[in-house]
Amino acid sequence: MRVKQLKANMSAMKMKHEITHEQLQNEFDYYYSEELLIKILENNLITKEEFNKINKLNRLKFKPLLGPLMCDNP
């Protein structure tokens, strides 16, 4: 088996992503709302279906950076 070393322009490979204050606040708000939502679910105040709907709405509202990777299950 032959291994070929690839050299690339490192500056082109680096992805610069600076988080704004607003994005950071949205991340915090989403995290906090998710923690509260889980507690509400654990206390049987909402159903799992309601949890999923609210969580989906929170992802749309707060747009967390990892939102697309998150599933609907607590």
Residue 9 domain-assigned (yes or no): no
Residue of 45, 46, 44, 48 whose CA lies nearest to 74: 48
Residue 5 domain-assigned (yes or no): no
Could you tell me if 62 and 54 are in contact, meaning their C-beta atoms sit under 8 angstroms apart?
no
CA dist., res. 14 & res. 62, Å (int): 26
Domain count, the chain: 1
Amino acid letter, residue 65: L
Residue 34 domain-assigned (yes or no): yes
Tokens 């509202």 -> residue:
61
Residue 59 domain-assigned (yes or no): yes
Residue 12 domain-assigned (yes or no): no
What is the span of the domain harbouring residue 55? 20-67
Is residue 65 very low, low, confident or very high in pLDDT (cuts 50, 70, 90)?
Answer: confident
pLDDT of residue 19: 83
Tell whether the model's pLDDT for residue 69 goes beyond 80.
Answer: no
Could you tell me if 71 and 52 are in contact, meaning their C-beta atoms sit under 8 angstroms apart?
no
pLDDT of residue 18: 81
pTM of the full structure: 0.65
* pLDDT tens per residue, range 3-62: 666 555 555 455 566 889 999 999 999 999 999 999 999 999 999 999 999 999 999 999
